[in-house]
Amino acid sequence: MREPRNPFRLRASEHIESTETFLRLFSPGVLDIWDKDSFWNGPQIIRSAPGGGKTSLLRILTAESLLTLYSLRTRDYFKDLFQKMKEIGALTDDGPIILGVLMSCAQNYAALDDLEIDDAKKKRLLLSLLNSRIVLAALQGALTLKRLRYPADLKKLTISPSEGITCLSNIKFPCSGEELYEWARSLEKDICEALDSFTSLSESTLNAVDLRKFQGYNHV
């Protein structure tokens, strides 16, 4: 394999197309910030200056990165990183045991602030749009981990809620991956069609989108 290009010229991990190259440039020492006893127990806020490694830290947890690292774990160059990922509870000798999804928040979300509706409804729509896209990304990542096709193999997934977790409205669990996919796609479509309407962005624009059905969609 040809040596990776100068990492300082790549500037950001999103510019590194090859997952293997990304892993070769990822230093296992970065993961020392991880407290394995508490990291998985709740939300974590990661802040840094631009280029500080936030995206790299998130990308290392995606399905493609986990599968690639697992397949290369016996190579000398990847042994330390694989061992570190085992220590933080992301990988075992049998394969990945977590799933991370990497999403950009640059698309559509700012348009919600232009809606001439009250702030509570804006927040509900924002959370609903986030929920739909998180669900879609998670479904795709789950199939990638199992080396299945997206979305063709969604019917092979069964989604069950964890004990003590509040479920989403308007969908019953357990359900198939295909059913959850249709729920998320329908929700995203309703919101985006309202935002893309040529008419004034106001509450009347959302007549086709029953805001009541978004109540409680902030539990994903």
Residue 29 has pLDDT above 80, yes or no: yes
Q: Residue range 182-187: average pLDDT?
A: 93
Residue 132 has a pLDDT of: 92
Minimum mean pLDDT range among 17-31, 103-117, 145-159, 178-192: 103-117
Q: Can you give the pTM of this predicted structure?
A: 0.81
For 41-88, write each residue's pLDDT tens digit. Answer: 888 888 888 888 888 999 999 999 999 999 999 999 999 999 999 999
In the chain, where the domains are located: 7-96, 109-214
Instruction: Name which of 45, 67, 52 is nearest 13 in CA terms.
Output: 52
Query: What mean pLDDT is predicted for residues 163-170?
Result: 70
Closest CA to 188 of 141, 142, 137: 137
Asked whether the CA dihedral 139, 145, 146, 147 is positive or negative, the reply is positive
* Burial class, 36, CB count within 10 angstroms (exposed 0-12 / middle 13-18 / buried 19+): exposed
Mean pLDDT of the chain, nearest integer: 82
The conformation of residue 92, written as its DSSP 8-state character, comes to: E
Lowest mean pLDDT among 38-52, 62-76, 120-134, 150-164: 38-52
What is the predicted pLDDT for the residue at 133?
Answer: 93
How confident is the model at residue 154, as a pLDDT? 97
Residue 95 is predicted with a pLDDT of: 96
Mean pLDDT of 200-216: 46
Q: Does the structure show a pLDDT above 90 at 199?
A: no
Token pair belonging to 186: 């329908």
Residue, of 5 and 125, whose pLDDT is higher = 125
Confidence (pLDDT) at 218: 38
pLDDT, position 208: 40
Whether the per-residue pLDDT at 172 is higher than 90: the answer is: no
Between residues 102 and 210, the one the model is more confident about: 102
d(Cα 59, Cα 212) in Å, to the nearest integer?
Answer: 35
Beta carbons of 201 and 115 less than 8 angstroms apart: yes
CA-wise closest residue to 53 among 71, 70, 33, 68? 33
Residue 203 CB partners (closer than 8 Å, separation 6+)? 115, 116, 117, 121
